[in-house]
Amino acid sequence: MAISRRELIQGAAVGGAGLVVGGVVGKVALGDGDGGGGGAGGSGLSGQAQKVATDRKLSADDVTRAVKTFVPPGQPGLDTHFLFSSGGHSGQILVMGVPSLKLLKVIGVFTPEPWQGYGYGADAGDIVLRQGTTSAGGAVSKERGMLTWGDTHHPALSETKGEYDGRWLYIQDRANGRIAMVDLRDFKTKQIIDVPNLESSHGGCFVTPNSEYVHISTKTPTLTDRSKAASALTNFKDLMRGYSTFMAINQGTGRMELDRSFQVELPPYTQDLADSGKLVSDGWVFINSYNSEMAVGGNAEGGVPIEVGASKNDFDMMHVINWKKAEEVIKAGKSRTINGIKVIPLDVAAAEGVLHLIPEPKSPHGVDVAPNGNYLCVGGKLDPHVTIYGFDKIKAAIDAKNYEKIDDFGVPVLKYDAVVAGRIEVGLGPLHTQYDEKGYGYISLFLDSAVAKFSLGEPYFKGDQAFKLVDKLKVNYNIGHLVTMEGDTVKPDGKYLVALNKWSIDRFPVVGTLKPQNFQLVDLTGEKMEILSDTPIGIGEPHYVQAIKAERIKAWEVYPPGTNPLTMEKDPNAIEDGKDRLEKRGNTLEAWMTVKRSQFKPDTLRANKGDKVILHLTNVEKTPDATHGFAIPRYNINVSLDPGECVTVEFTADAEGSFAMYCTEFCSALHLEMQGWFLVIA
Ligand code: RUQ
Ligand code: CUA
């Protein structure tokens, strides 16, 4: 969906009061509220503040915006919400505060992260990354070697009764069809699963309302027999399949358990975004698709580019999956195990009422379930409307077998007119919807570079108040996702919206040819939506974001002594201060080391070339923030040890020499003295 620079600029200028005003604010007198700055009324600033504002050429509106978002030194509690943002092809997760939009942390997920010592020769991260390459699916990775990046798109916070509970966070890898779990006790990645039968995945990452499952589906369909690649595109219908995956979550640890998980086989339409039902629609999952035309590209016989072929039909298909029914079908033994996971075959899914399809206008993108669970809002990339389906209507159509047709794969397609509750013209390129607590939806408009606010139907709004466009806000520019506070739960928190803009052209100083993305904070408390701030995102391209009340996160300050972050239990090799020791057995050097301000004990390690070296490091500090690092130059070993943490490093001493191992965190006045020697003798 390319857009020219000219279109972009024009698009911005149309409703871009904010942009124009931005250029002339210097002339606006503060406190007179006379419209030039947007007319926010008198700011009533005292002499000193007035002078600063005048010197910095800030308008009355700017000052109000600053006051609404400023988090003063030492008052972190004024950030009332956390954002968990996908990091796009950085492969990581970003944690930010709202309303400040300050970056609090980058969590290493699919890509090694050096500050956290994630994936550098040791540490839990290395183990997680390795398992994430070779677990379950992983057939290709076993041949090709370790994957060192992912493309994170859709984070999913764990829920209890449809509300975020602050326990775990899941995120999918769009590139490789994997899924990761982050433990929100220590904000670290604990598990990556290479999901069987998925080559890639896009939108389908959502938890069910009580975190029974985290859902992930295919994007591009999977070749069911890898040896038949030669006819994959000519025999697409027979050889390719989609899979909707329900990864079962262990309620104690948050880990995903493959043996309790299952998949529903889907037609080879390109499954896109998905959402879980809630309240009245609990037990159901909804997945959009595009390219139900099954276009395979311009180089196939008689082919046209996928872009063209996939946009031919007026309707694509929403997949409606009844996962409680799917559980029964599995229990009845009607599944097959494929590559280590139970799969309900397509014909069984259709026959047992596990899977239905619903027509959706022109290449849909997002499907988002409203807080009451009854409305499903769908944005059609090539259709200027948001189409709002009623779950009550869907249910009735299923019960009455009100079918339009049966598709080529034997799946019943419900009658479109029977299931639509409303349609609202919102603008060009509608993508994703979020909600507030009052019954409004907010949908991103990629081509319009805008957010449209619309009303839902009963019980929120009745008669001609229902299904209406009520406000529109220009954003800068080309918005993809958007998020309201807890805006995809049963109890949204309103207040703010963050627009995740793909383009930032003129919004930031030029930092070279690759521009940051732009997170724009929007105030939802007034009658009209209003932009409060721009924040450049200089790492990867964020996609979806979830925003949770800060008070729901109960993260640990320090680990209990000797904790292994992977198990969150005491590591059998953890030691107390003063219990350090060293053992040389044949070709193995094993050491139990303590780490604290400002020394390693022991601080000299002698190995013979070719020895296996096993180091168990325990940070014996109990003080919050007393983190130390442990690095061995040239050996590419880099570990981070938070207070209380125990980590094991294993490697071969394959290069002789003297290597000055050292602490990488500036931990004390004698941090530079926190070093030692690793000697490898030929
Ligand atoms: S979707 S390109 Cu989340 Cu709009 Cu990924
Ligand atoms: Cu420990 Cu620097």
> Using one digit for the tens of pLDDT, what is the confidence trace for 116-132?
999 887 655 678 888 88
Q: Which of 17, 43, 72 is where one domain is finished?
A: 72
**Contact (CB, 8 A) for 240 and 224:** yes
Q: Strands 375-380, 364-369: parallel, antiparallel or unpaired by DSSP?
A: antiparallel
Spatial distance between the Cα atoms of 530 and 254, rounded to a whole number of angstroms:
38
Spatial distance between the Cα atoms of 462 and 370, rounded to a whole number of angstroms:
16
Q: What is the pLDDT of residue 15?
A: 35
Pocket test for ligand 1, best of 89, 152, 202 (most atoms within 8 A of CB): 202
Strands in 381-419 per DSSP E: 385-390, 403-406, 412-414
Spatial distance between the Cα atoms of 466 and 454, rounded to a whole number of angstroms:
9
The predicted model gives 12-38 an average pLDDT of 35
Residue closest via CA to ligand 2's atom 1 equals: 628
Spatial distance between the Cα atoms of 94 and 330, rounded to a whole number of angstroms:
37
CATH assignment at residue 676? 2.60.40.420
Per-residue pLDDT band for 430 (boundaries 50, 70, 90) equals very high
Q: How far does the centroid of ligand 1 lie from the alpha carbon of residue 366, in Å? A: 8
* Domains in the chain, number: 2
3-state secondary structure of 590: strand
The predicted model gives 417-445 an average pLDDT of 97
Q: What is the pLDDT of residue 136?
A: 58
**Contact (CB, 8 A) for 435 and 492:** yes
Name every residue whose Cβ is closer than 8 Å to that of residue 625 and which is 6 or more positions away in sequence. Answer: 643
Considering every ligand atom shown, identify the ligand nearest to the alpha carbon of residue 545 and give its number: 1
Asked whether the predicted pLDDT for residue 337 surpasses 70, the reply is: yes
Ranking 25-39, 134-148, 188-202 by mean pLDDT, the lowest is: 25-39
Q: How far does the centroid of ligand 1 lie from the alpha carbon of residue 272, in Å? A: 8
Query: Is the CB of 543 inside a 6 Å radius of any atom of ligand 1?
Result: yes
Query: Is the CB of 649 inside a 6 Å radius of any atom of ligand 2?
Result: no
Q: How far does the centroid of ligand 1 lie from the alpha carbon of residue 86, in Å? A: 11
Q: Which tens digit of pLDDT belongs to each residue from 665-674?
A: 999 999 999 9
Alpha carbon 58 to its chain's center: 35
The rounded percent of the chain whose pLDDT value lies above 70 is: 92
Residue closest via CA to ligand 1's atom 2 equals: 543
Q: What is the pLDDT of residue 19?
A: 31
Q: Is residue 545 part of a domain?
A: no
Q: How far does the centroid of ligand 2 lie from the alpha carbon of residue 125, in Å? A: 20
Ranking 134-138, 244-248, 380-384 by mean pLDDT, the lowest is: 134-138
Amino acid at 66: A
Q: How far does the centroid of ligand 2 lie from the alpha carbon of residue 598, in Å? A: 6
Query: Is the CB of 352 inside a 6 Å radius of any atom of ligand 2?
Result: no
Atom of ligand 1 lying closest to residue 174 CA: 5
Q: Is residue 31 part of a domain?
A: yes
Q: Which of 72, 94, 109 is where one domain is finished?
A: 72
Q: What is the mean pLDDT of the chain?
A: 91
Spatial distance between the Cα atoms of 202 and 608, rounded to a whole number of angstroms:
49
Per-residue pLDDT band for 31 (boundaries 50, 70, 90) equals very low
Query: Is the CB of 667 inside a 6 Å radius of any atom of ligand 2?
Result: yes
Q: How far does the centroid of ligand 1 lie from the alpha carbon of residue 43, in Å? A: 40
Asked whether the predicted pLDDT for residue 45 surpasses 90, the reply is: no
Q: Which tens digit of pLDDT belongs to each residue from 457-510?
A: 999 999 999 999 999 999 999 999 999 999 999 999 989 999 999 999 999 999
**Best CA proximity match to 176, nearest among 224, 140, 130:** 140
Beta bridge partners of 588: 585, 612
Can you give the pTM of this predicted structure?
0.92
Atom of ligand 2 lying closest to residue 668 CA: 2
Query: Is the CB of 364 inside a 6 Å radius of any atom of ligand 1?
Result: no
Q: Which tens digit of pLDDT belongs to each residue from 257-308?
A: 999 999 999 999 999 999 999 999 999 999 999 999 899 888 877 788 888 8
Considering every ligand atom shown, identify the ligand nearest to the alpha carbon of residue 674 and give its number: 2
Q: How far does the centroid of ligand 1 lie from the alpha carbon of residue 175, in Å? A: 12
Query: Is the CB of 480 inside a 6 Å radius of any atom of ligand 1?
Result: yes
The predicted model gives 449-458 an average pLDDT of 98
Atom of ligand 2 lying closest to residue 598 CA: 1
Q: What is the pLDDT of residue 34?
A: 36
Q: What is the pLDDT of residue 27?
A: 33
Q: Is residue 243 part of a domain?
A: no
Name every residue whose Cβ is closer than 8 Å to that of residue 41 and which is 6 or more positions away in sequence. Answer: 33, 60
Query: Is the CB of 481 inside a 6 Å radius of any atom of ligand 1?
Result: yes
Query: Is the CB of 663 inside a 6 Å radius of any atom of ligand 2?
Result: yes
What six digits make up the tokens of 198?
A: 């998925």
Per-residue pLDDT band for 137 (boundaries 50, 70, 90) equals low
Q: Is residue 47 part of a domain?
A: yes
Q: What is the pLDDT of residue 204?
A: 72
Q: How far does the centroid of ligand 2 lie from the alpha carbon of residue 557, in Å? A: 18
Q: Is residue 362 part of a domain?
A: no
Q: Is residue 659 part of a domain?
A: yes
Ranking 44-58, 77-91, 107-121, 301-315 by mean pLDDT, the lowest is: 301-315
Per-residue pLDDT band for 326 (boundaries 50, 70, 90) equals very high
Q: Which tens digit of pLDDT belongs to each residue from 585-623?
A: 999 999 999 999 999 999 999 999 999 999 999 999 999
Q: How far does the centroid of ligand 2 lie from the alpha carbon of residue 117, in Å? A: 14
Atom of ligand 2 lying closest to residue 627 CA: 1
Look up residue 88 and give its DSSP letter: B
292: Cα within 13 Å, side-chain hemisphere: 23
Atom of ligand 1 lying closest to residue 365 CA: 4
Q: What is the pLDDT of residue 3?
A: 40
Asked whether the predicted pLDDT for residue 12 surpasses 90, the reply is: no
Q: What is the pLDDT of residue 123?
A: 55
Q: Is residue 272 part of a domain?
A: no
Query: Is the CB of 674 inside a 6 Å radius of any atom of ligand 2?
Result: yes
Query: Is the CB of 219 inside a 6 Å radius of any atom of ligand 1?
Result: no
Neighbours of 135 (CB within 10 A): 18
Q: For residue 31, give its domain range.
A: 5-72
Pocket test for ligand 1, best of 151, 270, 447, 481 (most atoms within 8 A of CB): 481
Query: Is the CB of 502 inside a 6 Å radius of any atom of ligand 1?
Result: no
The predicted model gives 365-379 an average pLDDT of 97
Q: Is residue 637 part of a domain?
A: yes
Q: How far does the centroid of ligand 1 lie from the alpha carbon of residue 603, in Å? A: 50
Q: Which of 50, 72, 94 is where one domain is finished?
A: 72
Asked whether the predicted pLDDT for residue 92 surpasses 60, the reply is: yes
Q: How far does the centroid of ligand 2 lie from the alpha carbon of residue 556, in Å? A: 21
The predicted model gives 351-379 an average pLDDT of 95
